[in-house]
């Protein structure tokens, strides 16, 4: 039996002791930095406003066409059909009701409506509000258009539907999640009263500078008006749309 290897003498653990003034300095530094952190945290918390998803509508849109004015344009740009960015109802009888575009509501409404499809409805109590944004370069002539099928109503001469069309005052995009009769945008003026007894394709022309917003209200022109359709994104007839035409 070999003797166990002799144990190496244990190395004395080296232990550096911090000098007292240095330790005191470190503690003071910690305290100062903690105070600074609290101060910075508080000063951020005091900032007036943190943007949420709902505030996004207030953001300014940057110009996405930088330098495009130097490009030679095709002389015959084709008209563009713009689907409403918002089409929703407000109800005089239920002033706080928000129609919104919640898919669940659409599901309740027959379950057959695709998310891009929107309801148009006008009765003496209910108006439809629509909003369009003109975002195409040098396409600053616009037309609000009602595209109607030739046989919209069954042959019935007693119909007396009249649509009043209003321009609304909007400074930033409307929020479909909060829009109700109570907070509806102000009417600027009535554009027209259109008989829908025998509907035709109605057009209203207006100027639409780049990135401008345009909102309209369709309301009942008399107590007999009752119009309703589901607007199909892929086959917009009947539909409210905007046509954007080239400008020079």
Ligand X SMILES: *[C@@H]1O[C@H](CO)[C@@H](O)[C@H](O)[C@H]1NC(C)=O
> Which residues make up the interface to ligand X (CB under 6 A)?
147-148, 150, 200-201, 237
Nearer to ligand X, 215 or 240 (CB): 240
Q: Name the residue whose CB lies closest to ligand X.
A: 201
- Residues 6 or more apart whose CB falls under 8 angstroms from that of 179 comprise 86, 88, 90, 98, 99, 100, 129
The minimum distance between CB 145 and ligand X, in angstroms, equals 9
Q: From residue 173, give the alpha-carbon distance in Å to each of 84, 215, 239, 241.
A: 12, 9, 21, 17
The minimum distance between CB 95 and ligand X, in angstroms, equals 35
Nearer to ligand X, 47 or 151 (CB): 151
The minimum distance between CB 179 and ligand X, in angstroms, equals 29
CB–CB of 126/92 below 8 Å?
yes
The minimum distance between CB 216 and ligand X, in angstroms, equals 19
Nearer to ligand X, 106 or 159 (CB): 159
- Contacts made by residues 35-38, CB under 8 angstroms, sequence distance 24+: none
Nearer to ligand X, 13 or 150 (CB): 150
The minimum distance between CB 199 and ligand X, in angstroms, equals 6
CB–CB of 152/197 below 8 Å?
no
Nearer to ligand X, 5 or 150 (CB): 150
117: Cα separation from own chain's centroid: 16
Nearer to ligand X, 88 or 231 (CB): 231
**DSSP H helical segments within 192-237, as ranges?**
none
Q: Is 138 left (phi over 0), alpha (psi -120 to 50) or beta?
A: left
Sheet holding 126-134, edge to edge: 86-91, 126-134, 212-220, 162-168, 187-195
The minimum distance between CB 149 and ligand X, in angstroms, equals 6
């Amino acid at each position: 039996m070999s003797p166990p290897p002799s144990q190496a003498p244990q190395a004395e653990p080296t232990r550096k002791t911090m000098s007292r003034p240095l330790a005191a300095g470190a503690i003071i530094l910690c305290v100062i930095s903690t105070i600074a952190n609290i101060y910075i945290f508080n000063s951020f918390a005091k900032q007036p406003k943190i943007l949420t998803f709902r505030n996004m509508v207030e953001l300014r849109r940057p110009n996405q066409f930088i330098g495009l004015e130097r490009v030679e344009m095709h002389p015959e740009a084709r008209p563009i059909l713009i689907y409403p960015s918002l089409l929703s109802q407000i109800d005089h009888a239920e002033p706080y009701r928000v129609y919104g575009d919640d898919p669940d509501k659409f599901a309740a409404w027959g379950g057959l409506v695709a998310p891009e499809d929107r309801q148009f409805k006008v009765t003496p109590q209910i108006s439809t509000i629509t909003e369009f944004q003109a975002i195409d370069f040098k396409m600053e002539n616009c037309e609000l258009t009602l595209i109607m099928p030739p046989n919209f109503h069954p042959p019935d001469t007693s119909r007396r539907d009249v649509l009043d069309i209003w321009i609304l005052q909007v400074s930033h995009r409307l929020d479909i999640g909060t829009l109700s009769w109570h907070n509806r945008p102000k009417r600027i003026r009535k554009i027209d009263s259109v008989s829908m007894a025998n509907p035709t394709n109605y057009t209203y022309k207006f100027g639409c500078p780049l990135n401008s917003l345009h909102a309209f209200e369709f309301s009942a022109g008399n107590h007999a008006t009752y119009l309703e359709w589901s607007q199909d994104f892929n086959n917009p007839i009947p539909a409210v749309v905007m046509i954007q035409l080239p400008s020079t």
